[in-house]
Amino acid sequence: MRICVTGGAGFIGHHTIKELQQHGHELLIIDNLSTGKPENLLPEIPFINADILETCAARAIQEFKPEAILHLAAKVSVRGSVDGIADDARQNFLGTACVLEAACAAGVKRFVMASSMAVYADAPSPIPLNEIWPSAPRSPYGISKLAAEQLLHQTGQRTGMTTAALRLFNAFGPGQALSPYVGVVTIFINRLLSGEAPMIFGDGEQCRDFVHVADIARACRLALESSCSGQSINIGTARGTTVNQLAKMLIDNVAPSLKAVHVGTRPEENRNSVADIGLARDLLGYSPQHSLEEKLTELIEAHLTAPTSQSFL
């Protein structure tokens, strides 16, 4: 297929571009490089440096005439969205609207977007949540993602374009940039390798589903190649890990003399977020191939051998 990937120079985008390329798809990347990295771009793949809100991005889509769009460009921080409500809504909702409008004008047949576990209401325990779990976001980020999903599926119903929204759980893996808001695995590894203790919000018993970026990339490809439509689909591992457990695994591997420090809770974050991936298995043929335990040592070693000019990996 001819596929346009927005946000293709980012953490997930970079891995997904390689996955799609390996399976013979013809690609165009649109990215404004606000968080994406120039070194993530591949010289043989056309790249447009543009914001998805700009008319030049829409023009590039229409000139490329893709059969499908993978929309990854977004603000991706729950905590960051609280500090930047308008910017989050602008990029995640209005940005999606702009790409959808361009897709309709270009006659795109399939549209897949990255959504988030943040659309869900909190769970009373770390049970795997399926896609019919109530949607009640606790953050502006979750609200913008849920609204973008609804706009996507409504547009698909109206135009005949097939649609899928992938509700990604906690992504980790090589190439994740260091940020104070996103990527607890990356944040903890960097602190420990700098001789600093991990900082845990609240009691640390909040439970997360950590899914490796290679599994997310494969899920994106499977969704693009699928014919399912009008579906929002969880992408995770169905395995929960508490933040305390994560911190202990990393401390034991990196700096056994350090102890985690606990600070105040974050009310905009759900306590329990674990994915039921039955729908992804049934509709996409997806199953995770990597585990958190398997990949942590690899991440630590990659950081230790990375050039010092890189923020992380």
Domain co-membership, 196 together with 252: yes
User: Is residue 37 situated within a structural domain?
Assistant: yes
Domain co-membership, 13 together with 139: yes
Answer whether 209's CB lies under 8 Å from 274's CB. yes
User: Is residue 121 situated within a structural domain?
Assistant: yes
Give the structural domain span for 267: 184-207+239-274+290-305
**pLDDT reported for residue 312:** 33
pLDDT level of residue 306 (50, 70, 90 thresholds): low
User: Is residue 313 situated within a structural domain?
Assistant: no
Mapped onto helix, strand or coil, the DSSP state of residue 285 is: coil
Residues identified as active-site = 141
| pLDDT tens per residue across span 22-59 | 999 999 999 999 999 999 999 999 999 999 999 999 99
Answer whether 274's CB lies under 8 Å from 208's CB. yes
CATH of the domain at 203: 3.90.25.10
| pLDDT tens per residue across span 81-108 | 998 999 999 999 999 999 999 999 999 9
User: Is residue 281 situated within a structural domain?
Assistant: no
Domain co-membership, 113 together with 189: no
Domain co-membership, 194 together with 231: no
User: Is residue 68 situated within a structural domain?
Assistant: yes
Q: How far apart, in whole angstroms, are the C-alpha atoms of residue 244 and residue 56?
A: 46
pLDDT level of residue 298 (50, 70, 90 thresholds): confident
User: Is residue 301 situated within a structural domain?
Assistant: yes
| pLDDT tens per residue across span 138-185 | 999 999 999 999 999 999 999 999 999 999 999 999 888 777 666 899
Give yes or no for residue 313 having a pLDDT over 60: no
pLDDT level of residue 231 (50, 70, 90 thresholds): very high
Domain co-membership, 166 together with 259: no
**Mean pLDDT over the full length of the chain:** 93
What's the whole-number mean pLDDT along residues 296-307?
Answer: 79
Domain co-membership, 110 together with 144: yes
**pLDDT reported for residue 156:** 98
**Structural tokens at position 129:** 């949540």
User: Is residue 251 situated within a structural domain?
Assistant: yes
Domain co-membership, 62 together with 20: yes
What's the whole-number mean pLDDT along residues 228-240?
Answer: 98
**pLDDT reported for residue 181:** 62
**Structural tokens at position 162:** 């097939």
Domain co-membership, 147 together with 203: no
Domain co-membership, 100 together with 190: no
Which is more confident, 301 or 281? Answer: 281
Domain co-membership, 82 together with 157: yes
pLDDT level of residue 267 (50, 70, 90 thresholds): confident
Which is more confident, 205 or 309? Answer: 205
Mapped onto helix, strand or coil, the DSSP state of residue 31 is: strand
CATH of the domain at 88: 3.40.50.720
Domain co-membership, 24 together with 113: yes
User: Is residue 311 situated within a structural domain?
Assistant: no
Which is more confident, 180 or 232? Answer: 232
What's the whole-number mean pLDDT along residues 3-26?
Answer: 97
Mapped onto helix, strand or coil, the DSSP state of residue 229 is: coil
**pLDDT reported for residue 230:** 98
Q: What percent of the chain has pLDDT over 70?
A: 96
Q: How far apart, in whole angstroms, are the C-alpha atoms of residue 11 and residue 7?
A: 9
Give yes or no for residue 309 having a pLDDT over 70: no
Strand duo 241-242 + 207-208: pairing? antiparallel
**Report field, pTM of the whole predicted structure over 0.85:** yes
**Number of domains comprising the chain:** 2
Domain co-membership, 55 together with 38: yes
- Beta carbons within 8 Å of 196's beta carbon, 6+ residues apart: 258
